[in-house]
Amino acid sequence: MLAAAGPLPAGPGWAFEFKFDGVRAITGVSGGRVEARSRNLNDITGSYPELGELPALLDGRDAVLDGEIVALEGDRPSFALLQQRMHVSTPSPALVAGVPVFYYVFDLLALDGQDLTAQPYATRRDLLSGLGLVGEHIRVPARFANADGPTVLRAAELAGLEGVVAKRLDAPYRPGKRSADWTKIPLVKTQEVLVVGWKPGSGRRSGTIGSLLLAVHDERDRLAFAGHVGTGFTDSALRHLQTELAALTRTTPPIEGVPREFARHAHWVEPALIGEVAFRNWTPDHRLRHPSWRGLRTDRSPASIRRAPEPVPPPSQGKVIGAMQTPDGRWRVEAVRRGRQDFFRLIHGDNIIDGLVIATVERLLAEAGVHLGDLVDVRLGSTPGAA
C-alpha cells in the first residue's frame, strides 16, 4: 500500500507516523526463514542480513511485515549512507558493521497464516505492538493516534526527519494501491527521475560527471526532459554512476526536446537508471528547480517514473484569517484556522505546503531567497498572484 501526497488531515480518526528516509520492504517470516521483497518485488533478503533477527523476535510465529529499511547517521536517517548498502547483494561483514541498517516495521499484514489486510489499521497496529519486535536492528516506530497533526509534523521537523504519514484508523491495507487513507506530508520535496545523459565536469570534477540530464514520463506516458542536476554527489557516488552509465551508452538522445544548452557536449544513455532528487518546485516549463542528487533507486521500475502529483487541497481545509505575499505575487503566506487549530500555508504557483509554523515558513522562504519581512499584507479573498 502506498501513501498519496496531500495536506495534513484534520479531525479525529487519524494516526500519525514519522516518515523515514529509506527503502520499503515487505518481509515474510515462515518456519524460521526470512524473505524480504522491495517495492518492485525484487528479492533483497541477502542485501540486509540484519533481518535475520526477526524469527527469534517472533518466537516461532509466522508473519508478513511492512516497513522501511533505514541507515542512520547519528540518530537521523541518511539516504546517502543507505546508498552504500542498496546496491550490494551480498554485503561483507565489514560493510554490515560499518553501515548497519535498521528495519522500522509499521504494519502487520498476516499473522500465523491469517490475512489481516482487511482489518482496520488500528487493529493491525495493536497486533503489531503486541509482538514486541524490539531488537538490535528491528524497531517499531511510534504512532500518534488522534493527535494534533501540526504538532507531530513540527516534531518531525525538529528531529530532522523526512515528514509524517497520516493513516486513517479504520482503513484496510490495500496491497499495491496508492490511497489517500495514507496521506504523506513531506518536509522535503523529492522526485524520482530517469537519467538520460550526462555532461562532463570541469575543475575538480574534470574527467568525471559534471551533471546528469533527467527525464520523467508525462501524462501521455512519453519521456519528457526534466532538467539537470549537478549538486549533491559524493566522490563514491560519482564513481559508481560512471560505471553504471558506461554500460548504457548510446549515440542519440533517448528523448525529444532537449534544449540546445543542455544537449551540447552531452553523453547519452539508455533511460534505465533511476535516481531521486530533492528539489524546490517545478518551473512553468516543467523542469526541476534547484534539484540536488540524493541517490539511485533500485526498488523502482523505469515505467513507473513520472512527475509526482501535487497535493490538491480539499475545499474544507480551514478559514483563511490573514494573508501576505511578495510584491510580485509569486509567494503567498496564509494564516489558516481549522477548528481550534491555527497554522500557516505557503503557496508558490501550484505548490502548496500546509500545516506550517511561522519559523518553517521563514526558513523555506529564505532558502528561496525571499525575506519574510518583504511580504506585504493582502486583502482577504484575493487569489495568489493578485497584487
Q: Is 199 a catalytic residue?
A: no
Residues sharing a CB contact under 8 Å with residue 196, sequence separation 6 or more, in sequence order: 213, 214, 215, 223, 225, 253, 254, 255, 258, 268, 269, 271
Are 42 and 148 contacting, i.e. CB atoms less than 8 angstroms apart? no
SS3 track for 79-124: HHHHHHHHCCCCCCHHHHHHCCEEEEEEEEEEECCEECCCCCHHHH
Q: How far apart are CA 225 and CA 13, in angstroms?
A: 41
Cell numbers placing 142: 511510534
Burial of residue 56 (number of CB atoms within 10 Å: 0-12, 13-18, 19+): exposed
For cell 528516509, what's the residue?
21
Q: Is the dihedral of CA 62, 67, 68, 74 positive or negative?
A: negative
Hey, what amino acid is at 313?
P
Q: How far apart are CA 108 and CA 130, in angstroms?
A: 11
Q: How far apart are CA 358 and CA 23, in angstroms?
A: 31
Radius of gyration over every alpha carbon of the chain, rounded to an integer in angstroms: 22
Q: How far apart are CA 140 and CA 144, in angstroms?
A: 13
Residue in 19, 167, 189, 199 annotated catalytic: 19
The DSSP code for 130 is H
Phi, psi angles (nearest 5°) of residue 113: 85, -5
- Ramachandran area for residue 220 (φ above 0: left; ψ -120 to 50: alpha; else beta): alpha
Are 101 and 137 contacting, i.e. CB atoms less than 8 angstroms apart? yes
Cell numbers placing 31: 518456519
- Other CB atoms within 10 A of residue 202 CB: 9
Q: Give catalytic residues, as residue numbers.
A: 19
